[in-house]
Structure 1
Amino acid sequence: MGTQRDRVRFNVGGKLFETTATTLANAGRNSLFGAMFDENWNLRVAETGEYFIDRNPKCFSVLLDLLRTGELHIPANVPEKLLYREAQYYGLIDHVQAAKRGEFDGNRLRLAGSTTGRAPGDGTAIRASPDGGCCVAHGSMVHVYDWMLEEHPSINLDYQRVNDIGWIDSENIVITACERLGRVDGGMGLFSSSNGDLRYKFDVSHEGQTKSFTAGALSFSNDDKIFASCKGRTHEYGIGVWDQITGKQVDFFYESPGWSLGDADRLQWLNGTNCLLVATLFPRKDNCSISLLDFREKRMVWSWSDIGAPVTVDEKRVRDAIAMEDTSSICVVNEYEDLGFMDLRSSIGSVRWSSRSRLMKGKMSDEPCYPKLALHGGQLFSSMNDSISVFCGPDWVLTSRLRRSYGGSICDFSIGGERLFALHSEENVFDTWETPISLVA
């Protein structure tokens, strides 16, 4: 908007404020203040010379100071929840979040708090939302939390176990389960994160007929596609593809003899190669397999299996896998927290194991919580027992470890919205880790 510095006056709940167009422009196009500018960022001044807003003046003062300085200072007499509600009204939630949390860094994460679940069964999966909230699966229940970690109405699948969950955006959650999704036939549906309502279900069709199916692992592409492992009674074994906007099936990759696509434990879409990683891991299957599927050519372009591996394979069972496109490799982890690497450029699928990153002696505990992997911001994360390890650099050197022993072993963790969430198995408690703003250079 150039150097324009027109003064702007607001009457907010009876209290007068004066600022400049430059300050208001810091709010961005998608804010309430952004609507006051034309397409060239020229301020459209009210005819009266004053804008009246019937909102809380104390919160407005805090938010206006945030736009001026980029810093958030909340007075003791302003409840945080009230401020967040007002920030939502003005379209400034992103600004508040950025001011409260530093840029994500696994080596600087600090425990921000813990939330105790209310479900009778053990937690099985946790997924971070794009804005820093999360959802937690407990058996047939999914508990949803917004970025303020306030719980929304839970989603009940009527005794059907949740297999996987994923966020389309901060308002929509995809859930996979068995053939009946609550009272609806079909193993996959889109739900509202705010009220838990089922918005639509995803069908699998074969030769013009709608089939019952169980949906498992999920993945999302950058062109609004949803991928899910599927298995049914006849032909619907493989990987289904849907348009996440319309909910319509757009493709299906059927299993061939020797493949285990319908039982996949992890799916990961690779934007750079337009391929899908499909991993079927121990203990779901006695033999682990990892494949890359090219949906454009309908063929498998790379694969690995531990069939025929050395006698010591029991010590090297692959528990999780993740593709790293920057290095054209796949990282795997075993029950001893050894990291292994496979070169995607090689046609010979072999694992190069490395134990130098291991701090713990002996294998995982007797609890059924297997190691999980995540890649975020150029850092690699691996859970093991009650801690999460952080690896950095070209050689993936262990640089820090996050640990909070209360609640038992970590059964799952997820990163999103500048937060890391870790779900413990025993007490249905999940921890929230953040990078404090004071630690950011």
Structure 2
Amino acid sequence: MAFPSDRVRLNVGGELFETTTTTLSVAGRDSMLGALIDSHWNRPPSSGANSAPEYFLDRNPACFSVLLDLLRSGELHLPPSLPERLLLREASFYGLLPLVRAARWGPLDGNRLRYSTSISGTAPGDGISISASPSGGCCVAHGPILHVYDWTFVEQPPITLDYQRINSAAFLDPSHILLTARGMALFSSSSSELLHRFHVRHENQLRSFTAGALSFNHTDSKIFASCKGRYNEYGIGVWDQNSGLQTDFFYELPDCPVGDSDSLQWLDSPKCLISATLFPKTEHCYIALLDFREKNVVWSWTDTVSDDKRVLDVVAMEDNHSVCVVNQYDDLGFLDLRMNGGGVRWSSRSKLTKVKGRRNVNEEELCYPRLASHGGQLFLAMNDTVSVFSGPEFVHTSTLRKSEGGAICDFSIGGDRLFALHSEENVFDVWETPPASSPML
């Protein structure tokens, strides 16, 4: 009887595995295993009439056993004796990293986030900011140096700005990082190679400028950055993501300090940009919704002289047409983007965000609170804790606290991970969401 044509033997590092082409096809045609069985790419090795074709792969058999089980069952089970980094290396060779990630982590949900690991940095000083990559990696700024980690937390060559302090860093996509300092530039996230310098033109002449906050409109391929220059280059510059050429500039208007913006956020629905200038850069917070088509401010808010609740961070909640702010008392406030000139609806969260049994944090270690939004949820980093708020009323639903690295000076969400950078010990924590149908590893 002839051997079934669907069956395949693989000799991996001297250990025999037998499977089917149907199972291997789960890897996808673009993977190494998919190409192995694709007649357009590879000719099967000769074999007898009663034997399955056999391939030899000089790789780790223990890792292959785990990956083959993933192709068969859709579940990832990692034995305690097998290092995860070794499995990720082998998965990369076979082209199975997307499948491993899908089985390892589900979509980010603040209420299901679980502590994964802590990474100690290599820079001599404390980190000042962290930015997540869409692929699950991140970068950490230390003065003039940016340390870059891929999604397996292997550190890539650092980016150095020759004694210029980094103002902001963000991933344009998994392969490219934008840095702002005295100017703005694009770098490779894997090699740290300088790829492009962004210029500002005023009256048909190139001008020097200092760039600050960053934001992106990926739908229309635009980059936004706050800018300050010697002449009239105060405002927000716009560049094309593909060509790198300047396409627009929103100049400062009276009582509209957008050139000093600490935070920029593009909103798809109104096709406008939120700009916020915050303490300590300015004495009073200024938040504006900018329409670049008409070059005007369509909504704005500033705190009053008598208001002792100083706004320290801002994030727009586009789904419910509001802007969330946080003050020095750990209170959350909400501004309605549909009401120009309206007041803040404050809601005290202090009692909710304090955790019983929490370690004492030295007053000198306290960092400014930080806000972020993701998937309709609101995230607040205060001292050494990240609190999650959910639902239309943003009820406190979860608390994240793990590392002993001191207060959280910055945090960032990207892909399927949340990164929290601590003010001490140069360490950042990684939080991930396990898939609902699979056991936690």
Retained in 2: the 8 A contact 1:303–1:349?
Answer: no
CA distance in 2, matches of 1:14, 1:34: 21
**1:427 is matched with which residue: 409, 420, 425?**
425
**1:355 is matched with which residue: 348, 352, 360?**
348
Give the aligned partner of residue 334 of structure 2. 341
Deviation at 1:118, TM superposition (A): 2.8
One-letter code of the match for 1:31? S
Q: Does 1:274 align with 2:271?
A: yes
One-letter code of the match for 2:187? F
Give the aligned partner of residue 93 of structure 1. 97
Q: Does 1:209 align with 2:205?
A: yes
Retained in 1: the 8 A contact 2:317–2:376?
Answer: no
Give the aligned partner of residue 297 of structure 2. 300
Retained in 1: the 8 A contact 2:329–2:350?
Answer: no
Q: 3-state DSSP class of the match of 1:350?
A: coil
Q: Does 1:143 align with 2:147?
A: yes
Q: 3-state DSSP class of the match of 1:137?
A: strand
1:20-67 residue CA offsets vs partner (Å, 9 max, x unmatched): 4443343345434555799xxx99884547474644151333222211
Bigger shift: 148-157 or 54-63?
A: 54-63
Q: 3-state DSSP class of the match of 2:128?
A: strand
TM-score (norm 1): 0.87
Retained in 2: the 8 A contact 1:227–1:239?
Answer: yes
Deviation at 1:406, TM superposition (A): 1.7
Q: 3-state DSSP class of the match of 2:373?
A: strand
Equivalence map 1:135-284=2 (5 Å): 135-177=139-181, 179=182, 187-223=183-219, 224-284=221-281
CA distance in 2, matches of 1:15, 1:433: 36
Q: 3-state DSSP class of the match of 1:66?
A: helix
CA distance in 2, matches of 1:250, 1:234: 19
Q: 3-state DSSP class of the match of 2:90?
A: helix
CA distance in 2, matches of 1:286, 1:31: 55
Q: 3-state DSSP class of the match of 2:342?
A: coil
One-letter code of the match for 1:147? W
Deviation at 1:10, TM superposition (A): 4.6
Closer/same/farther in 2, CA of residues 439 and 10 from structure 1, 3 Å limit: closer
CA distance in 2, matches of 1:62, 1:203: 50
Retained in 1: the 8 A contact 2:301–2:340?
Answer: no
Give the aligned partner of residue 24 of structure 1. 24
CA RMSD of aligned residues (A): 2.7
Deviation at 1:233, TM superposition (A): 0.5
Q: Does 1:62 align with 2:66?
A: yes
Bigger shift: 320-329 or 246-255?
A: 246-255
Deviation at 1:213, TM superposition (A): 0.7
CA distance in 2, matches of 1:141, 1:242: 24
Closer/same/farther in 2, CA of residues 34 and 289 from structure 1, 3 Å limit: farther
Give the aligned partner of residue 130 of structure 2. 126
Deviation at 1:76, TM superposition (A): 5.7
CA distance in 1, matches of 2:193, 2:168: 18
CA distance in 2, matches of 1:244, 1:111: 34
One-letter code of the match for 2:189? S
Q: 3-state DSSP class of the match of 2:289?
A: strand
Retained in 1: the 8 A contact 2:25–2:34?
Answer: yes
Deviation at 1:85, TM superposition (A): 1.9
> Number of paired residues?
421
Closer/same/farther in 2, CA of residues 160 and 36 from structure 1, 3 Å limit: same
1:127-175 residue CA offsets vs partner (Å, 9 max, x unmatched): 1111211110111111111112121221111111111110122221111
Closer/same/farther in 2, CA of residues 207 and 310 from structure 1, 3 Å limit: closer
Retained in 2: the 8 A contact 1:222–1:271?
Answer: no
Bigger shift: 72-81 or 350-359?
A: 72-81
Retained in 2: the 8 A contact 1:238–1:261?
Answer: yes
Retained in 2: the 8 A contact 1:364–1:384?
Answer: no
CA distance in 1, matches of 2:340, 2:54: 66
Closer/same/farther in 2, CA of residues 272 and 53 from structure 1, 3 Å limit: farther
Closer/same/farther in 2, CA of residues 364 and 260 from structure 1, 3 Å limit: farther
Closer/same/farther in 2, CA of residues 140 and 310 from structure 1, 3 Å limit: closer
CA distance in 2, matches of 1:106, 1:439: 17
CA distance in 2, matches of 1:440, 1:33: 24
Deviation at 1:333, TM superposition (A): 0.8
Equivalent pairs: percent with the same residue? 61
CA distance in 2, matches of 1:232, 1:63: 54
- Structure 1 unaligned residues grouped into runs of 5+: 180-186
Retained in 2: the 8 A contact 1:364–1:385?
Answer: no
Give the aligned partner of residue 369 of structure 1. 367
Closer/same/farther in 2, CA of residues 36 and 54 from structure 1, 3 Å limit: closer
